[in-house]
Amino acid sequence: MSQTTHAGTHEHHDDHDHGPPKGIKRWLFTTNHKDIGTMYLVFALIMLFVGGAMSLVIRAELFQPGMQFVHPDFFNQMTTMHALIMVFGMIMPAFVGFANWMIPMMIGAPDMALPRLNNWSFWILPFASLLLLSTLFMPGGAPASGWTMYPPLVLQTGDAFPFLIFSVHLLGMSSILGAINIIVTIMNMRAPGMTLLKMPMFCWTWLITAYLLIAVMPVLAGGVTMLLTDQYFGTSFFQIAGGGDPVLFQHIFWFFGHPEVYIIILPAFGIISQILPTFSRKPLFGYESMVYAVAAIAFLSFIVWAHHMFTVGMPLAGQLFFMMSTMLIAIPTGVKIFNWTATMWRGSISFETPMLFSVAFLFLFTIGGFSGLMLAIVPADFQYHDSYFVVAHFHYVLVPGALFGAIAGAYYWLPKWTGHMYDETLGKVHFWLSAIFVNITFFPQHFVGLAGMPRRIPDYATQFADFNMISSIGAFGFGFSQLLFVYVIIKCVKGGQKATDQVWDNPEGLEWTVPSPAPYHTFDTAPVVK
């Protein structure tokens, strides 16, 4: 707390001289959780378009068979950069932005626990992302290894290689610092009377996500450092010639990579768990079981990593273990899906934009879940592995899953953040365009994948042409629809009608009353403790 107090007295003293910092200084030096949350969200929005432009390069090339626009090496660089930018530069910063804005307000804290660390963990991000993007302009170009950075492929990158490694270190550092801040804030700064099981669901999902981040980010850091020493310091962790094993890197990477996908989706679960009760005008069904389900998902995410590696020649016992444990994750995830559905059951539902995105999340994320269950079956996975079916699977989880969760949260809290209502009609248009185009983009990829089209290739056999064309049209439609989202946000921030408390009003203030021990889970500020 001393940090906060010092900052407070210092600012107070400044007021007499020349007031709080204005202009660019306000943003550079801010320790205010709302300012930092805003910066995270704006940065994530910019990166959405940078990473999105890269995916459009990929889809333009795949519009028809043959080589049209880019060199095969550049095509593979685009797949690498698209993934790294979207994961580390877009979706994770977006959710950290939500956490910064909402967690202090939800638990009744004046700010985050470590405000200066908060400033630092944000400002590492733009520099790390610029470093990552700069590899595209270095001799030999960015790595063409995919975001998995598998050796020996990634070791052929050339001059850009150490910059790639350094940027991954910095991005991981930013995430770890943000996670530490969230844990300390939630553990130490809750309002009197707010026990852990009275916290809003969003705080729970982020608390668990933060522990995941601290556990797995150092694993990735270790893995990429071993790549670095293999390249420049004569070690042979992954070099067969020196007695190393490239499959070791896969184990290290996926031990990070699998919990990572839950780091990406759990905050979205939290946002959906705030929105559905509000627009169903009912409390969240099975609050405690939802908390335990998130905890179970997080625990299980650590013991399923090798399901990404069924084809490396692991022993049968290993395949069986990873198959069973992967299927086990479907249980807590199913609990969440059913509880969200039960929350809406017989509710007095209205379909404002945040609710539309949340309901779409429910349907489309479930499709991604089912295809994941298919991939968990070892003999089936031998067929699906490295095909476009896998691409379809994880994009159904990440786009209508994580991204729709983030967009829903933005619409939901924009009136609270800005004091203005967003344009509801435009919001709904944005929703329908996004929902239609996201399916046009990714659903056909299931079919080409099952028909045998491999992923990460710039050219393909003619039998895949029709579905690829549909997929590319969908991708451009989806990409350009997001410009409407930017317009809605700018219009809302600049003005628009004053926000009222319509459905955003505390859902507990409706017809029914809640017995006092019930979990407090509306999206507003801390409860009044009687």
**Would you name the residues annotated as active-site residues?**
82, 111, 147, 174-175, 258, 260, 262, 273, 307-308, 333, 336, 455
Helix axes 115-134, 33-61, angle to 10 degrees: 20
Tokens, residue 140:
């030999």
CA dist 261 → 128, 181, 213, 280 (Å): 21, 21, 11, 29
**Helix, strand, or coil (residue 420):** strand
Give the residue among 146, 383, 398 at the shortest CA–CA distance from 250: 146
Q: Can you tell me which residue has the tokens 């967690």? A: 103
Instruction: Say how far apart CA 86 and CA 90 lie, in whole Å.
Output: 5
Report how far residue 88's alpha carbon sits from residue 164's, in angstroms, rounded to the nearest whole number.
13
The whole-angstrom separation of Cα 204 and Cα 200 is 7
* Alpha carbons 191 and 189: distance in angstroms, whole number: 6
H or E element at residue 22: none
Which residues on neighbouring strands pair with residue 498, listed in sequence order? 420
Task: Specify the residue for token string 């028809």.
Answer: 64
Instruction: Name residue 420's beta-bridge partners.
Output: 498
State which H helix or E strand residue 47 sits in.
helix 33-61
Q: What's the rounded Cα separation, in Å, for the pair 455 and 458?
A: 9
